[in-house]
Amino acid sequence: MQRLARSATINVAANAASSAAQWLVVVIFAQAYGSQALGAYGLILAVVSPLFLFGGLNLRVLASSMPERAYDPAALMRLQRLGIALAAGGALGAAVLLQPRDGLSPGLWVAVVALKMVETAAEGRYGFLQRAHQAWPIAVRKFVRAGTTVALLFALARLAGWPPGPAMAGVFAGALAVSLLLDRWPVAKGGLARASRTGTGALLRMALFSGATAAVDALVIAVPRLGLGGASLAAVGTFTVLVQIPMAGAVVVSGIGQAVISRLRAARGRRAFLTLLACAYGAVGLLGLAGTVLASWWGEAFVHLLYGADFAGAGALLPPVMWGGLAWYLAGMSGVGLQARGRYGAQLAATVAAVCAATVAMVLQPPTVQGAVNAYLAAMLARLAVSTAALIWIVAHWEGEAAVPGDCAEFRPEGRGPC
């Protein structure tokens, strides 16, 4: 348990650094360029992020959680390289289609796509070290990457006064340099010679489930942004500054999940599984509650102070956004439990339910920031309800070793019999 606590602490610290960097990118954009440019950046991310999460296969979580009989590092890396290339092509194609939209700079599109390619590849490699419980090498690289990103953007945007596109291109150059210098290590003990015992089809299916789940999860935040994008980039910018605050906590939650998922996968029996999961639920629940209390007390002053006069009126919406964050964090731990048990189909169903809830809410409301916040809340509550119900059912019907999507176990009520 001490080793788990140490690993979780290192993981959370590294993810907190990444989270702070993502948040500071939004802060620097808001202060340097205003709500319109920040809205353009947020709209680009709404298109690009789901594509790269799908193409990247959510490899960090997949590699650290998949059962031994399915584990094949070389095949996973080949699949991810292909997926990243396809995601980049899709993102650039979307840029061509959306280019008539005022405020969407081609340079900013290309810079964000290039940066996502580097970040996705790096995160994927971390999964192999995570599987071997080597948290420290991952943490060092995440700290360096976070510091480089913030320092470069601050220097180029605030000090040098560069436009958004060239400034983000500078951030990409820094990320590429960090990757070339630090991200060159063996991906697994024993190298890449290991092969899956479940076959290429099963491995591909597992990878697609993992990537699809991560991409659909990103759509939960992307749908409100896309809905606002047709009306006002400034509204997208306002929603972005609000939702970035619980997103910062979500990265910390992700660190907790990454620290426990491989141990949940290896848990010997239902009792050990539930004990570990309860500790994780408690940690993320406290984080979410703290956020809601602080937002209720100081939300308006905080938003005005941090982001500037363009966002002075947005702070009143921060408390409901943070309640949505609490539901988000708890649903995230339910998702970790589902993935540790190999139930990728159930996890995907929960995120699809969230996207459907967000979409319906946006359709039924005017495209305003309040409407986007309501859609976000509906999505997080739907995700929490479906993922937790699925996890309760799976724990109640405990089957021993985690399922592998290739053997269809997650679709069979008792995990036995033909597909």
What pLDDT, in 10s, does the model give residues 235-283? Answer: 999 999 999 999 988 988 888 887 888 788 888 788 889 999 999 999 9
Q: Is the pLDDT of residue 406 over 50?
A: no
Q: Kindly report the average pLDDT of the chain as a whole number.
A: 86
Quick check: helix, strand or coil at residue 399?
coil
Parse the chain into domains and list their residue ranges: 2-411
Give backbone dihedrals phi and psi of 151, rounded to 5 degrees, phi first: -60, -45
Q: Which of 25-39, 57-71, 133-147, 310-324 has the lowest mean pLDDT?
A: 57-71
* Residue 407 scores a pLDDT above 70: no
pLDDT reported for residue 400: 63
Asked if residue 125 lies in contact with residue 180, where contact means CB atoms within 8 angstroms, the answer is: no
Euclidean distance between CA atoms 129 and 40, whole angstroms: 35
Rounded Cα gap, residues 303 and 110, in angstroms: 30
pLDDT recorded at residue 189? 44
Tens of pLDDT along 287-328? 999 999 999 999 999 998 999 888 888 999 999 999 999 999
Reply yes or no on whether the pLDDT at 45 is more than 80.
Answer: yes
**CA 115, 30, 287, 292 torsion-angle sign:** negative
Residue 346 in this model has a pLDDT that exceeds 70:
yes
pLDDT reading at 405 higher than 60: no
* pLDDT confidence of residue 316: 92
The Cα-based distances of 374 to 142, 153, 212, 371 in angstroms read: 33, 32, 25, 5
Residue 362: CA atoms inside 13 Å, Cβ hemisphere, count?
A: 25
207 and 76 Cβ atoms separated by less than 8 Å: yes
Considering the entire predicted model, what is its pTM? 0.84
State how far the Cα of 256 lies from the Cα of 254, in Å rounded to an integer: 5
User: How confident is the model at residue 364, as a pLDDT?
Assistant: 96
Instruction: Lowest mean pLDDT of 121-135, 290-304, 378-392, name the range.
Output: 121-135
* Burial label, 417 (beta-carbon count in 10 A; 0-12, 13-18, 19+): exposed
Is 110's pLDDT higher than 50?
Answer: yes
Cβ-based burial of 278 (10 A; exposed 0-12, middle 13-18, buried ≥19): exposed
- Above 80 in pLDDT, residue 196? no
